[in-house]
């Protein structure tokens, strides 16, 4: 007796999708949000430097209020998992080491127009410390016009932000010793429309007491947030697990020649 072996094609994708649906896993879509979008591919008219006196220890506590409209495009909450800075074209050095570098994100308790110079009053109830501790910020590509967003700070804890709930507060504190004006970040130094209605920056540096000595409507350090979008909404109806598994098993047993025929079907 001569035996023949049949060739089978196992459709992996339907099995994986079915497994995800059964497990209730929500799909994600990655995207980035640049503050501000106009300068995503352009050098911004300003810079942010560390230390006003060369060689001395420096520390600062700043807040940047970001209008919710920058994140309103998807219409859904987003998970922010890292932030990237870029060098200003005037930067001389490509790295800086901080003895402490803390970033907190929250859904602000105030807004761009009502931001308080008492920094604690702006912090939302969902405040999350996304990074804390020593760090060396490094640009592999060096200064350009504009530079790459390659000074990445990965978050130890991601932050889920819902634009419908309020503006986003970017709160950062840092300390270290730096060479004056050598490590410089690209910054939009503009106090004109439309930026004044969507951004406010506050600086607490001397003394470091929780109160902003300087207020800059419209100013923003140029940053890129890495986000993932939850695709929410009612889950599609799925058959009972037993029925679905039987259907998937049936697909797995279809001979290859039949599956090839279905590939050529007209769409």
Tens of pLDDT along the chain (267 residues)? 433 333 334 444 344 444 444 445 454 568 899 999 999 999 999 999 876 554 557 889 999 999 999 998 767 899 999 999 999 999 999 999 999 999 999 999 999 999 999 999 999 999 999 999 999 999 999 999 999 999 999 999 999 999 999 999 999 999 988 766 689 999 999 877 789 999 999 999 877 899 999 999 999 999 999 999 765 554 444 445 554 444 444 544 444 433 333 223 223
The vertex-197 CA angle with 191 and 198, nearest 5°, equals: 100
**Inter-residue contact 161 to 102 (CB < 8 Å):** no
> Are the C-beta atoms of residues 178 and 58 closer than 8 Å to each other?
yes
Give me the pLDDT at residue 252, please. Answer: 46
The full length of the chain comes to 267
Closest CA to 99 of 64, 60, 152: 60
* Nearest alpha carbon to residue 105 among 162, 170, 163: 170
pLDDT at 258 (0 to 100): 35
Residue 134: CB atoms within 10 A of its CB come to: 11
Q: What is the pLDDT at residue 219?
A: 95
* Exposed / middle / buried, residue 41 (Cβ in 10 Å: 0-12, 13-18, 19+): exposed
Whether the Cβ atoms of residue 126 and residue 138 lie closer than 8 Å to each other:
no
Q: What is the pLDDT of residue 74?
A: 67
Task: Give the pLDDT confidence score for residue 23 in this predicted structure.
Answer: 46
Which tokens hold the place of 138? 């490094």
CA 190, CA 197: separation in Å to the nearest integer? 11
* Strands 184-188 and 47-49, bridge-based pairing: antiparallel
In this prediction, residue 149 carries a pLDDT of 97
| The pLDDT value given to residue 42 | 95
Kindly calculate the radius of gyration of the chain based on its CA atoms and give it in whole angstroms.
25
> What are the residue boundaries of the structural domains of the chain, listed by start?
29-230
* CATH code 2.60.120 for 29-230: yes
């Amino acid at each position: 007796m001569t035996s023949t072996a049949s060739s089978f094609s196992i459709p992996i994708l339907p099995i994986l999708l079915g497994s995800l649906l059964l497990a209730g896993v929500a799909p994600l879509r990655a995207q980035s949000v640049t503050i501000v979008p106009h300068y995503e591919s352009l050098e911004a008219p300003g810079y942010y430097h560390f230390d006003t006196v060369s060689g001395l220890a420096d520390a600062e506590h700043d807040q940047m209020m970001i209008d919710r409209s920058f994140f309103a495009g998807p219409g859904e909450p987003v998970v922010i998992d890292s932030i990237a800075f870029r060098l200003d074209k005037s930067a001389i050095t490509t790295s800086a080491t901080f003895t402490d570098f803390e970033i907190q994100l929250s859904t602000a308790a105030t807004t761009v127009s009502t931001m308080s110079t008492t920094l604690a009053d702006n912090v939302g109830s969902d405040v999350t410390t996304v990074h804390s501790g020593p760090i060396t910020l490094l640009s592999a590509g060096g200064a350009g016009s504009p530079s790459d967003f390659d000074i990445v700070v990965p978050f130890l804890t991601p932050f889920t932000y819902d634009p419908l709930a309020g503006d986003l507060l970017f709160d950062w504190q840092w300390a270290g010793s730096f060479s004056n004006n050598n490590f410089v970040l690209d910054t939009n130094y503009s106090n004109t429309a439309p930026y004044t209605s969507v951004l406010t920056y506050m600086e607490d540096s001397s003394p470091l007491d929780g109160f902003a000595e300087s207020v800059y409507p419209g100013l923003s350090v140029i940053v890129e947030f890495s986000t993932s979008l939850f695709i929410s909404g009612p889950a599609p109806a799925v058959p009972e697990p037993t029925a679905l598994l039987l259907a998937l098993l049936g697909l797995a047993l279809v001979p290859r020649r039949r599956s090839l025929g279905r590939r050529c079907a007209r769409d």
